[in-house]
Structure 1
Amino acid sequence: MYLKNAWYVAGWSKDFERTLKAETFLGEEIVIYRREDGSPVALEDACPHRKLPLSKGNLKGDTVECGYHGLTFDCSGTCVSAPTQPGKIPGRAVVRSYPVVDRYRLLWIWMGDPALADPDTIFPIENFDNPEWGYTEGGVLDIECNYLWIVDNLLDPSHVAWVHVTSFAGAGTDDQPLDVARTERGVIVSRWIYDRPPSPYYADLVRFEGTCDRLQHYEMCFPAIGLNKSVYTPTGTGGPDAAPDDKTYINISYNFMTPIDEDHSRYFWFQHRNTDPRDKAISEKMNAGARMAFEEDRTVLVAVHKGMKHKQTPNIDLGLDAGAKLFRLHLKRLIDQEAAAATAAAAQ
């Protein structure tokens, strides 16, 4: 169900401190905290004695003490103290540790083989340190649905015409043809819409008057990271082969889906734009608009998850589902390959 050898967003870096925080990712219970030097630690949230969550214990220096009988574990998950039997630490008193890295204001966690966890493979945020680009605070939503329904939604430019009427919708979003392309990191569903008014969300943000040429670029990357790029440029200056105009407005919405379990997902996002890097009012307005739109998505996705999980009759697919189906197909192949490799390694 999940691709384990991949980086997932565990949360916003600012939300993890010198306290034991219980989390669930990919169906696994995890406790996260920070060392005295501020670096992050993630451990299996279960003492190996009677499986009391370590998050119910005590943080002592850089170690975690179980709140039941005092078994104490270091940052690698090794037991370093067993107070009830001094000098006799059980050999099997070990908990799993997970690689974690702070980057882009986010804390990332690797759920698979720690030996394969390369921080250089964390999804790149272009222009993150570019002082000419502005960004929003971002946010997080817990959604009662499987993460793949969110993935499908973020590969579907057409739904905005009905779900986001007052924000991302606009002329051409309901019937213009879509282009689907596979890349090394996932799938892109996109289209140019020509000589139409900007969508309501962007009407006050673009730096030109009149109609526009508009790009909807919906990209999903493995394991479940969405890059939605909105490009608005004066009519006659857009298109796949057009050079950027000096008035071209670009906003990129970064969307990070982290599965909690089969029926619950955590959705993180922030936006990055090529204008107004220091305008806090614009950032706050954009963030509020995005949150409103994502709440609209949540309402639909919770109902979709429930309907598909308990469907009484077969569902159908539409042409607009091509990108989502392609992504799911290749994600499943990666998951199957990973499982086969793990089975082969265990047999050796």
Structure 2
Amino acid sequence: MFLRNCWYVAAWSADIGRALRAETFLGENIVLYRQQDGSPVALENACPHRKLPLSEGNLKGDNVECGYHGLTFDCSGACIDSPTQRGMTPRRAVVKSYPVVDRYRLLWIWMGDPALADPDKILPVENYDDASWGLTDGGVMDIDCHYLWVCDNLLDPSHVAWVHVTSFAGAGTDEEPLNVEKTDRGVIVSRWIENKPPSPYYAKLVAFEGDCDRLQHYEMCLPAIALNKSIYTPVGTGGYDKAPVEETFINISYNFMTPIDADRTRYFWFQHRNSDPDNAEVSTFMNDGARMAFLEDKDVLEKVHLGMKHAKTPHIDLGLDAGAKQFRRVLERAIKAEANDHDVALTQV
């Protein structure tokens, strides 16, 4: 169901401090906090004695004290104190520790084998340190649906015309065919739409007048990260083989889906644009528009989840589902390969 040897977003970095914070990711209960030097920590949120959540205990320096009998664990998950029987700490008094890294204002967590947790495998955000690019504040919301329904949605440009009438003012469909491309990190669904008016939402953001060429680039990367790139450029300057011109407007919406369990998804996002880096009004407009759109998605996807989970008749696929089906196949193969590697490792122990 889940790919584990990869990085997921656990939280906005600014939201994790010295308080013990209980979370669930991929069906595993985790407690997050920061050490006194600011370093993040993620531990299994269950004392090995009677499984009281460690988040119900106390932070003592950089260590977590269980609120039941005082068993105390350091950031590696080792028990360093057992007040009721000092000197006789049980060997199995340990909790799982998860690698965590701060990057791009986000806290990332590795849910698989800690020995494989390479921070360089975190998806790069191009131009993140380029001062000429503007960032939105971003956001987070929980959606009561399986994370793959969110992934499907983010590989489907067509739904905008029906779901996002308020936020993006529709304009999601076009007769131009979609290109589906498999990459080394996932799937891209894209198309250039030439010599047409800009969509109503982006018409307020581009710096040129009149019609445009525009790119819809919907990319899904393992394990569940979407890059929705919108490029708006004067007529005649767009195309897969053409470099941006001075007037070209580029916006990339980064979307990070972290499964809570089989029925819930935590959804993080922010936008990154190649203009107006210090324009708070533009950033607020884009952030508000994105949040409104994602709330519209949430309403639909929660009902899709229930409908598909409790379906009484077979469902069908449409041509627009090609990218989503391709990504699911890529993910399924990665999950199976991970499971096979795990089984081989066990036989070698």
TM-score, structure 2 normalization: 0.98
The answer on whether the counterparts of 1:167 and 1:199 sit within 8 Å (CA) in structure 2 is: no
Q: How does 1:144-223 map to 2 (within 5 A)?
A: 144-168=144-168, 171=171, 173-223=173-223
Distance (Å, rounded) in 2 between the aligned partners of 1:169 and 1:329: 33
Deviation at 1:14, TM superposition (A): 0.2
1:86-165 mapped onto 2 (5 Å cutoff): 86-165=86-165
Alpha-carbon RMSD: 1.0
After superposition, the Cα gap between the structure-2 partners of 1:144 and 1:170, relative to the gap in structure 1 and judged at 3 Å, is: closer
Give the 3-state SS of the residue equivalent to 2:203 in structure 1: coil
1:166 CA displacement: 3.8
State the alpha-carbon separation in 1 of the partners of residues 145 and 176 from structure 2. 29
The aligned runs of 1:264-283 (5 Å cut-off) are: 264-283=264-283
Deviations 1:200-227 (A, max 9, x none): 2111100000111110000000000000
What is residue 258 of structure 1 aligned with on the other side? 258
Q: Could you say which residue in structure 1 is the equivalent of 2:307?
A: 307
Map of 1:335 onto structure 2: 335
In structure 2, the residue matched to 1:81 is: 81
**261-270 or 163-172: bigger deviation:** 163-172
Query: Which whole-Å deviations, capped at 9, do the CAs of 1:32-53 have from their partners, x for residues lacking one?
Result: 0000000000000000000000
C-alpha contact (below 8 Å) 2:159/2:172 kept by paired residues: no
* Secondary structure of the structure 1 residue equivalent to 2:83: coil
| Contact 2:134–2:272, Cα closer than 8 Å, also in 1 | yes
1:162 is displaced (CA, Å) by: 1.3
CA deviation after TM superposition for structure 1 residue 169, in Å? 5.5
Q: How does 1:21-60 map to 2 (within 5 A)?
A: 21-60=21-60
Distance 2:249 2:132 in 1: 13
1:41-96 Cα shifts (integer Å, max 9, x gaps): 00000000000000000000000000000000000000000000011110000000
Distance 1:171 1:89 in 2: 64
Question: Which residue is 1:19 aligned to?
Answer: 19
The CA distance in 2 between the partners of 1:216 and 1:330, in whole Å, is 22
Give structure 2 stretches of 5+ with no counterpart: none
Aligned residues: 348
Aligned CA distance change for structure 1 residues 171 and 51 (closer, same or farther; 3 Å): closer
Matching residue of 1:295: 295
Give the C-alpha shift of residue 230 in structure 1. 0.1
SS in 1 for 2:267: strand
Deviation at 1:195, TM superposition (A): 1.3
Over 3 Å counting, the alpha-carbon distance change for 1:183 and 1:169 in structure 2 is farther
Distance 2:172 2:195 in 1: 10
Contact 1:145-1:302 within 8 A present in 2 as well: yes
- How much has 1:251 moved relative to structure 2? 0.3
Give 1:174 deviation, angstroms.
Answer: 4.0
CA contact (8 A) 2:158 2:172 kept: no
Q: Secondary structure at the match of 1:230?
A: strand
Deviation at 1:196, TM superposition (A): 1.2
Please tell me the residue identity of whatever aligns with 2:4: K
Deviation string 1:305-339 (CA, Å, 9 cap, x unpaired) is 01000011100001111111011001001101111
Q: Deviations over 1:266-302 (max 9, x none)?
A: 0000000000000111101110001001111111100
Gaps of 5+ in 1: none
Report how far residue 344 of structure 1 moved. 1.6
Q: Which amino acid aligns with 2:247?
A: K
Letter in 1 for 2:301: L
- Structure 1 Cα separation of the partners of residues 80 and 119 of structure 2: 28
Structure 2 Cα separation of the partners of residues 278 and 148 of structure 1: 35
| Alpha-carbon offset, residue 127 of structure 1 | 0.6
Q: CA deviation at 1:172?
A: 6.8
Taking the aligned partners of 2:184 and 2:296, their CA distance within structure 1 comes to 31
Aligned counterparts of 2:197 and 2:55: Cα–Cα separation in 1? 52
Contact 2:254 2:271 in 1 (8 A): yes
Q: Give the C-alpha shift of residue 243 in structure 1.
A: 2.5
**CA distance in structure 1 between the aligned counterparts of 2:98 and 2:110, rounded to whole angstroms:** 6
SS of the residue corresponding to residue 84 of structure 1 reads helix
CA distance in 2, matches of 1:65, 1:165: 51
Displacement of 1:165: 2.2
